[in-house]
Amino acid sequence: MVERLTNQVEKEERDLRILEAVIESGPIGIVRLAEETDVPEHKVRYSLRMLENDGLVDPTPNGAVPADDIDERLAEMNEGIDHLIERLETLEDVF
């Protein structure tokens, strides 16, 4: 179970690295994202798809750009992460 959670956290970390590069350098394409983040192109492509599905990035002919409401979405994400940390700490106390 811990290994599965670790893998999921690593995937989310990769997605956030991709998102950070899009915010800093967008519009940005897959090849450049792979170079800047040291993530293979196929994983960049997957991360971009997930970030688009989550409404965090938008595709354009020139590459990915952050969603118009990215600041609000990031604030929501941070609140969710804080809540998740609290839940994990509660679980840690149980075991």
Torsion of CA 32, 36, 39, 42, to 10 degrees: -10
Across 44-83, b (16+ Cβ under 10 Å) vs e yields bebbbebbeeeebbbeeeebbbbbeebeebbeeeeeeeee
Mean pLDDT by 10 residues, the chain (95 residues): 86 95 96 96 97 96 97 93 90 76
Write down all domains in the chain, each with its CATH number in brackets: 2-68 (1.10.10.10)
DSSP SS3 for 61: coil
What span, in angstroms and rounded, lies between the C-alpha atoms of 86 and 30?
A: 35
| pTM of the predicted structure, to 2 decimals | 0.85
